[in-house]
Structures are given as C-alpha cells and as structure tokens.
Amino acid sequence: MRHDTNELGQPVGFAVPGWQPPVVPPRETMEGRYCRLEPLSNAHGAQLYAANALDRDGGMWTYMSHGPFETMESYLAWVRDVSDKADPIFFAIVDTASGGPLGVASYMRIDRHAGSIEVGSIAYSPPLQRSRAATEAMFLMMQQAFGLGYRRYEWKCNALNGPSRAAAQRLGFSYEGVFRQHMIVKGRNRDTAWYAAIDSEWPALKAAYERWLAPENFDDSGKQKSRLSALTAPILKARG
C-alpha cells in the first residue's frame, strides 16, 4: 500500500495536492460504437419492459433491490420514480444496431468530496447480456467518471451473486472484501462483496477496453479473439 511517513516516523496517507472535488456526472447522453447511454426517461419505459420480459423466469431480478415487475404499469411507475433523482442517476442503454433501449445502469453513492462513485442497479435484458454493447456501456460510464476526476470507481453486489462477481473482475474491478450482514433486501440478509478500480489503474484499463471493443477483435462470425478478462487480469490487485 502506497503511503508517506510523517516526522514521527508513522506511516500516513500519500499527499493529494490541489485536490478539488469533481462535479456530479451530467445527465447527458454518452455515445459509443455499439450503444449510447441516454438519461432514463418515461420514453424508454415500454421498450425496456418488453425487453426485460424476455427473461421468462425473472432470474435477472433475484439479487436486485427492485423487481420483478408483473405489469408494465408497475415498471413505468418505477421508471418515473427514479428517472429524476440526483442519486442514483439512471441511464438507459440503447443498442445502436436496433435503436431500442435494452437495459439500465446508474451512478450511485456519489461522494464528490472523497472522489468516489459507484456503478450499480445494472439491469441487462436478455438481448443485451453478453453483448459488445453491454461491455461498452460499462466502459463509457467508467470513462466519464475518471474523466471528471473521480479517484475511485466502485462495484458492489450480493456476495452470493456469482455472475456479478465474475463480471466485476472481468471489467477490471479488484476485489476488496465482503461486508457481512451489510443490509436486508427483499426480507433477506445480504452480505455485500466490494470491488473497485482507482484512477491510477484507469490508463491500463482504458487500453484493455479499447483493444477488446475494437472491431478487429472479432472475427466474421462475431467471436472474440482476445478475452477482456485476459486483458484486465494483470491490472487486478486481488481476486475474490
């Protein structure tokens, strides 16, 4: 762990000269090659509900604090409730090829003064899962956060959610531990696994994402040549 030593010979945190808290991320569209992220609005609701409905057994909602939604009206009510909040700030992930919204993600627990921000409430419908657009959405959000000057970018999930934990590490978030009995969600205990990437890791992460997302990383059938997990593995400080 990097640190300084004070005049008493004690280890202390390294200096952060000229630190200025970054601004709250703007509620603006982020453009990519395979997707764009638009501020979530009522206009996205019906198409998102239809895409989510393709998850027939409702498994995509098991570890979420909200959902599943039995009716479109209940989902639209949720969209109305969250779309104008200052924290979390929700975005609809719009697939460039189809032009339709296929998922949502948010910036949350925004702590400007600490320079810390979390990506969360990620809900990918079946058509978005395991797609280039799904990965690019995470890249665009991370890129904006570090570009604004945040020092720490967090990913937290239910410790029992194996796919989310694997996704965090594939995306370059290092494991930091489990907070036991962290919260109660849907009437059940939740231990929370913590992951994070920090600003000094961003240049290497950015290069890994750009290499993976490049069209030449995919063959004519769409199969990846280099795996993102292999590109980010050397950057991880811990796994878990």
Kindly provide the b/e burial profile for residues 130-159, where b requires at least 16 CB atoms within 10 angstroms of the residue's own CB.
Answer: ebbbbbbbbbbbbbbbbeeebbbbbbbbbb
Residue pLDDT, tens place only, 80-112: 999 999 999 999 999 999 999 999 999 999 999
- Residue 1: pLDDT over 90: no
Please tell me the class of the 27-235 domain. alpha beta
pLDDT at position 79 is: 98
* pLDDT band at 128; cut points 50, 70, 90: very high
DSSP state of 227: -
Helix (H, G, I), strand (E, B) or coil at 195: strand
pLDDT at position 224 is: 96
Q: For the chain, how big is the Rg over CA atoms in Å?
A: 19
CA distances from 164 to 30, 85, 99 (A): 23, 25, 26
Q: In the chain, what are the domain boundaries? A: 27-235
pLDDT at position 230 is: 98
pLDDT over 70 for what percent of the chain? 100
* pLDDT band at 10; cut points 50, 70, 90: very high
The residue-averaged pLDDT of 132-142 equals: 98
Q: Which of 59, 65, 61, 78 is nearest to 184 (CA)?
A: 65
Helix (H, G, I), strand (E, B) or coil at 151: coil
* pLDDT band at 46; cut points 50, 70, 90: very high
Q: Which of 203, 239, 200, 205 is nearest to 1 (CA)?
A: 200
Quote the pTM value: 0.96
Long-range contacts of 67-71, Cβ-Cβ distance < 8 Å, separation of 24 or more: 67/123
pLDDT at position 29 is: 98
Residue pLDDT, tens place only, 185-206: 999 999 999 999 999 999 999 9
Q: Which of 204, 193, 192, 210 is nearest to 236 (CA)?
A: 204
Mean pLDDT of the chain: 97
